[in-house]
């Protein structure tokens, strides 16, 4: 059966190049979706853009927008949906290749590797080695390999092999929602893969142009607070099931706090955000 593919971009105040980026993908899919996630629904795409716009107004953050997109694709009878952020630069042919590879391995999710569009550095991924997570900086050439989890942007979801009751956690809004989603899929028996021969450009950390790999992200205090709070919530939820991953992530989070405290100019504001994040993560309901 020929796959029917929907592709969705989550748009929150995108830049002027957004329309050109999504038009490049339009010819490769059966329907192009854009979830307008700006609070004032100000996206304003032209009528001839060839897209279906879903108004979400940031309800549930990025997680809410992703749920609206997946629900739309499932209801409309699509076999696959590919998910992107509004700053994703998608090479020609990548979506079709990912769908083909996902069907070949009969997986639930597949995604590409990426380079950070701000500084050109490769992204870090958790691959799956005999059921254990291994952190790797990947530059390609290893084919399709099992993944422990995937970032959302570039992910293709096979709807027929996905339990529709597994949803992005809207209480987390933005950060770590992809990790939480993937861990749920794994727990339900789903299979995740990374295609190291597919590569895209994507902004991570809102970093400055030309910055070094370990430069701190340019986030607001509220975003820093959300990241750490969501991280701690994941540790509480998944620590017994995936202790290796949680222990590694505790180490990474601790290193991030030390780095950011040393390098950020507004370190006192940042440390207050860290304290708020710890409090949020420990007091929020685990379920």
- Structure confidence by residue, pLDDT tens digits, 120-170: 778 889 999 998 999 998 888 899 999 999 999 999 999 999 999 999 999
- Token duo for residue 213: 């790999």
Question: How is residue 6 annotated by DSSP?
Answer: E
- Token duo for residue 212: 């070094």
In this structure, the answer to whether residues 22 and 112 fall within a common structural domain is yes
Predicted confidence at residue 222, as pLDDT, reads 96
pTM (predicted TM-score): 0.94
Give the length of the chain: 287
For all residues of the chain together, what is the average pLDDT? 93
Most confident of 18-32, 128-142, 159-173, 191-205: 159-173
Q: Predicted confidence band at 202 (pLDDT cuts at 50, 70, 90)?
A: confident
Predicted confidence at residue 44, as pLDDT, reads 81
Task: Name every residue whose Cβ is closer than 8 Å to that of residue 149 and which is 6 or more positions away in sequence.
Answer: 126, 178, 179, 182, 183, 186, 192
d(CA 133, CA 27): 36
> Which residue, among 19, 23, 5, has the nearest Cα to 97 in the 3D structure?
5
Q: Helices (DSSP H) in 27-176: which residue ranges?
A: 61-75, 94-105
pLDDT of 45 above 80: yes
In this structure, the answer to whether residues 271 and 155 fall within a common structural domain is no
pLDDT of 46 above 90: no
> Which residue, among 125, 119, 188, 184, has the nearest Cα to 154 in the 3D structure?
125
Predicted confidence at residue 47, as pLDDT, reads 78
Range of the domain at 10: 5-202
Per cent of the chain over pLDDT 70 is 99
pLDDT of 16 above 90: no
CA 271 to chain centre: 26
* Surface-to-core class of residue 255, CB atoms within 10 Å of its CB (0-12 exposed, 13-18 middle, 19+ buried): exposed
The number of domains in the chain is 2
- Token duo for residue 207: 């970093």
Q: Predicted confidence band at 80 (pLDDT cuts at 50, 70, 90)?
A: very high
Predicted confidence at residue 119, as pLDDT, reads 76
Among 202, 230, 263, which residue terminates a domain?
202
- Token duo for residue 108: 């639930």
Chain segment 250-282, per-residue pLDDT in tens: 999 999 999 999 999 999 999 999 999 999 999
Please answer whether residues 117 and 211 qualify as being in contact, where contact means their C-beta atoms are separated by less than 8 angstroms: no
For residue 185, being part of any structural domain is answered with yes
In this structure, the answer to whether residues 121 and 262 fall within a common structural domain is no
Phi, psi of 204 (to 5 degrees): -125, 125
In this structure, the answer to whether residues 55 and 181 fall within a common structural domain is yes
For residue 46, being part of any structural domain is answered with yes
What mean pLDDT comes out for the span 175-182?
96
Which regions of 142-263 does DSSP assign to beta strands (E)? 144-146, 155-158, 192-202
What mean pLDDT comes out for the span 6-15?
93
pLDDT of 40 above 80: yes
For residue 123, being part of any structural domain is answered with yes
CATH of the domain at 9: 3.90.550.10
In this structure, the answer to whether residues 88 and 180 fall within a common structural domain is yes
What mean pLDDT comes out for the span 187-206?
90
In this structure, the answer to whether residues 179 and 245 fall within a common structural domain is no
Please answer whether residues 6 and 14 qualify as being in contact, where contact means their C-beta atoms are separated by less than 8 angstroms: no
Question: How is residue 89 annotated by DSSP?
Answer: B
Chain segment 204-249, per-residue pLDDT in tens: 777 777 677 778 888 999 999 999 999 999 999 999 999 999 999 9
Among 202, 230, 265, which residue terminates a domain?
202
For residue 215, being part of any structural domain is answered with no
Predicted confidence at residue 115, as pLDDT, reads 86
d(CA 135, CA 255): 15
In this structure, the answer to whether residues 163 and 251 fall within a common structural domain is no
In this structure, the answer to whether residues 12 and 148 fall within a common structural domain is yes
């Amino acid at each position: 059966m020929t796959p029917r593919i929907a592709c969705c971009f989550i748009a929150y105040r995108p830049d002027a190049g957004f329309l050109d980026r999504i038009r490049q993908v339009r010819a490769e899919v059966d329907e192009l979706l854009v979830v307008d996630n700006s609070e004032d629904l100000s996206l304003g795409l032209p009528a001839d853009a060839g897209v279906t716009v879903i108004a979400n107004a940031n309800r549930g953050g990025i997680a809410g927008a992703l749920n609206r997109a997946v629900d739309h694709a499932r209801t409309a009878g699509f076999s696959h949906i590919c998910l992107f952020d509004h700053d994703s630069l998608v090479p020609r042919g990548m979506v079709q290749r990912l769908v083909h590879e996902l069907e070949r391995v009969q997986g639930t999710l597949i995604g590409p590797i990426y380079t950070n569009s701000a500084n050109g550095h490769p992204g870090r991924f958790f691959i799956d080695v005999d059921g254990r997570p291994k952190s790797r900086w990947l530059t390609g050439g290893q084919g399709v390999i099992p993944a422990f989890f995937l970032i959302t942007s570039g992910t293709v979801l096979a709807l027929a092999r996905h339990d529709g009751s597994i949803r992005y956690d809207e209480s987390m809004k933005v950060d770590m929602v992809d990790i939480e989603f993937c861990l749920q899929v794994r727990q339900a028996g789903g299979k995740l893969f990374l295609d190291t021969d597919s590569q895209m450009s994507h902004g991570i950390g809102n970093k400055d142009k030309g910055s070094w790999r370990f430069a701190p992200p340019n986030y607001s205090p509220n975003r820093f607070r959300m990241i750490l709070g969501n991280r701690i919530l994941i540790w509480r939820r998944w620590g017994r099931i995936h202790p290796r991953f949680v222990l590694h992530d505790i180490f990474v989070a601790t290193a991030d706090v030390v780095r950011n405290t040393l390098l950020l100019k507004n370190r006192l504001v940042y440390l207050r955000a860290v304290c708020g994040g710890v409090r949020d993560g420990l007091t929020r309901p685990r379920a």
